[in-house]
Amino acid sequence: MFNKNNPIANRYEFVLLFDVENGNPNGDPDAGNMPRIDPETGLGLVTDVCLKRKIRNYVSIAKGSEDGYDIYVQEGAVLNEQHLKAYKAVGIEPDTKNKRLPSDKDKAEQIIDFMCKHFYDIRTFGAVMTTEVNCGQLRGPVQINFARSIDPVVQQEVTITRMAVTNIKDMEKERSMGRKYIIPYGLYRVEGFVSANFAKKTGFSSSDLELLWEALINMFDHDRSAARGKMESRKLFIFQHSSMLGNAPAHKLFDCIKVNRVDPSTPPRFFTDYEVVVEKESIPDGVTLIERL
């Protein structure tokens, strides 16, 4: 719950391993919704936006009925209507002509604080709220990279049939044909960052942080669909620094997590086809490794 005077006091980095079996983890609408890949390496990609959507959806399910856990960016949301809630709470009218925050700094801060207090994803990821009804701009403490598969993935186009037809004029066809795109198997790795410095600005608290870890572990269990196949979070590694500024560069911590193929001569089809190695001896002083899953 929002408490601007009680933000997290430590820096964190994390590594999440998740996999997909016979599914499309993140289709590209500019490529017929085929699974995203890096064209130079053949490695599969999942965007940060896709993963944030799943986190938002999990929080909405788990905490949607509680105050302070509304979701700002959600399906069907009208952002200006979200912003008007803050102005109504403060008791002033927005300057829609100039699209500016109130000139009174105290009022402007109250509006931004309202948005942080009521919307979990603003506290977490920040938001650009500079629309006609201006609520400011915040950089969130949690930032997530694109996920990338450990090995190149194969994009498969699978033909499917439907016994029903769309129009009565097609009755004689008996069935209609369709296609879906899948990856037979892919193990993905995503890295993320949690800044205690930016948490001070949004009020991102330890309970918000725990909810983030919970969402990363469980988000695929509440996002099932025929297109996505079987997706699971497999391992979550959390690096907790003993200070706000941190005790080691992020890349050195990420390098401590190695993912290797057990048998490189055969294509991977299961998580057990990989070995996850944690080089604990390489973790610098002042950093604690927390393993989930």
Domain ranges (residues) in the chain: 12-292
Looking at 119-205, list the stretches that DSSP marks H as alpha helix, in order from N- to C-terminal side: 120-125, 196-202
* Mean pLDDT in residue range 140-146: 98
The H or E element spanning position 52 is helix 48-63
Residue 34 has a pLDDT of 95
Confidence check: pLDDT of 3 > 70: no
Above pLDDT 90, what percent of the chain? Answer: 88
More confident residue, 173 or 137: 137
The DSSP bridge pattern shows strands 142-144 and 176-194 to be: antiparallel
Of the candidates 237, 239, 236, 235, the one whose C-alpha atom is nearest the C-alpha of residue 288 is 239
Return the beta strands (E) in 53-136 as ranges: 126-128
Which amino acid, 73? V
Residue 174 has a pLDDT of 63
Confidence check: pLDDT of 106 > 90: yes
- For the chain, give percent helix, strand, coil, nearest 5: 30, 30, 35
Give 196-230 pLDDT, tens digit per residue: 999 999 999 999 999 999 999 999 999 999 999 99
Of the candidates 6, 5, 15, the one whose C-alpha atom is nearest the C-alpha of residue 290 is 15
Confidence check: pLDDT of 97 > 80: yes
Give burial (CB, 10 Å; 0-12/13-18/19+) of 279. exposed
Task: Determine the distance from the C-alpha atom of residue 162 to the mean position of all C-alpha atoms in its chain, rounded to a whole number.
Answer: 34
DSSP β-bridge partners for residue 257? 278
Confidence check: pLDDT of 1 > 60: no
* Mean pLDDT in residue range 101-114: 96
Task: Determine the distance from the C-alpha atom of residue 28 to the mean position of all C-alpha atoms in its chain, rounded to a whole number.
Answer: 17
Q: pTM of this prediction?
A: 0.94
**pLDDT, mean over the chain:** 94
Confidence check: pLDDT of 157 > 70: yes
More confident residue, 46 or 168: 46
Residue 209 has a pLDDT of 98
More confident residue, 77 or 14: 14
137: three-class secondary structure by DSSP: strand
- Tokens linked to 60: 């909405």
Confidence check: pLDDT of 28 > 80: yes
Residue 168 has a pLDDT of 77
Please, which contacts does 281-285 make with residues 24 or more away whose CB atoms are closer than 8 Å?
282/252, 282/255, 282/256, 283/239, 283/248, 283/253, 283/256, 284/247, 284/248, 284/252, 284/253, 285/247
